[in-house]
Amino acid sequence: MKEIYDIAVVPGDGIGPEVAAASVEVLRAAFGNDCPLRFADHPAGAELYRQTGESFPETTFRACAGADAVLHGAAGIPGVVHPDGTEAGLDFTLRLRFELDLFANIRPIRLYPGIRSPLADVKPGDIDYIILRENSEGLYAARGAGVQLRGEMAVDTLVQTRKGVERIVRKAFELARASNGAPADGVKRVTCVDKANVLRSYAFFRAIFDEVAAEYPDIQAEHGLIDAMAMYLVTKPSHYNVIVTENMFGDILSDLAAATIGGMGLAPSAEVGQDQGLFQAAHGSAPDIAGKGVANPYGTVLSVASMLEWLAARHEDSRLSVAATRIRTAVSAAIADGLISRDLGGDSGSAAITEGLRARLT
């Protein structure tokens, strides 16, 4: 247990500064006068690149690497790209993932009371699972290392290692073991999603999954092909408990899953390794609504609740876990009471939602 935890806040682009600031307000409200978190803002992102030609200063990287946790708003502005055509803001998260070895991207998918799913006959309680995305390997490991030859050919390489697959699969089984099981039947299960019927890299992933699964006889293990899973997350979402998959597949599935619970505005994300953690909503920077007071802070607020849980487990600090539970309870109550942002079908603005959460925490 530490007396003070240093949180590196990187507001980023678009609505990033708004949702990051809202989340800091909520965190302060959750602790009152005895807040054990110390916040420091640091620059990075596409807007910084547009102004200075540098999107991720080394000073910001060192601050993030040395902090107890990193809170990120959002990154990227359409059209602001590096000379190779890649988005200027995305190198912040990608560099942290690979250099700090944030191998586990944990994306909870939950339908809240007060939110109507676009899926017919699906109600709150029917969707409550985790997509666990391997975060350091897969196809995205080729970022910056792929080859483009004479404008005629481009190659990116999909990388799977035994160490990388073993640790993400083991994390999946531990998450399932700590869970309440799938909504449909209460069974604690882990679903491995791959394309093992076509590609050797995914057959390798599946083989290692099966080896690790044998160590967890109390958890049901199953397989699903990526194309079928895109259907099953729509047709039978209550079957799932923890889904584990490769980097790119996890990226795609988590966006599809977010749509089933109302949208990206309710999709938190925790990217953790052995020693560091990055916490941000799964949504983008939405520059078209930046500064208009309509940004949805729920995804980032739920992400900082995950941040508190992660820190609490690492440092055996019950103050943080209690605050995380209070924040999630406040979010659920606020949504149920009708504090719903425009992207979720309501008319509540950022300030109203933030104040509503503060009121429920003080």
Express each pLDDT in 63-113 by its tens digit. 999 999 999 999 999 999 988 788 888 889 989 998 999 999 999 999 999
Query: Is the per-residue pLDDT at 339 higher than 80?
Result: yes
Average pLDDT over residues 181-201: 97
Instruction: Say what the pTM is.
Output: 0.93
Residue 144 confidence (pLDDT): 62
Confidence of residue 18 (pLDDT cuts 50, 70, 90): very high
Of 119, 60, 103, 83, nearest to 262 (Cα)?
119
227 is catalytic: yes
Q: Which tokens in the block code for residue 81?
A: 């790209």
Given the residues 6, 41, 195, 232, the one annotated as active site: 195
Query: Is the per-residue pLDDT at 1 higher than 90?
Result: no
Average pLDDT over residues 170-191: 98
255 is catalytic: yes
Given the residues 2, 163, 210, 227, the one annotated as active site: 227
Given the residues 13, 68, 128, 251, the one annotated as active site: 251
Query: Is the per-residue pLDDT at 143 higher than 70?
Result: no
Work out the angle at residue 318's Cα, subtended by the Cα atoms of residues 312 and 324, and round it to the nearest 5 degrees: 65
317 is catalytic: no
Tell whether the torsion through CA atoms of 132, 135, 139 and 143 is positive or negative. positive
Residue 84 confidence (pLDDT): 79
Query: Is the per-residue pLDDT at 147 higher than 90?
Result: no
Residue 149 confidence (pLDDT): 72
Average pLDDT over residues 318-324: 97
275 is catalytic: no
The CA distance from 318 to 312, in Å, is: 6
Given the residues 140, 202, 240, 298, the one annotated as active site: 140
The CA distance from 251 to 169, in Å, is: 17
188 is catalytic: no
Confidence of residue 142 (pLDDT cuts 50, 70, 90): low
| CA atoms within 13 A of residue 264's CA, in its CB half-sphere | 15
Cβ-proximal residues to 165 (8 Å cutoff; 6+ apart), any chain: 134, 137, 204, 205, 208, 209
Beta bridge partners of 307: none
What phi, psi does 74 have (nearest 5°)?
A: -165, 165
Domains and CATH numbers, the chain: 1-103+270-362 (3.40.718.10), 116-260 (3.40.718.10)
**Is residue 24 a contact partner of residue 38, using CB atoms and an 8 Å limit?**
no
The CA distance from 76 to 342, in Å, is: 22
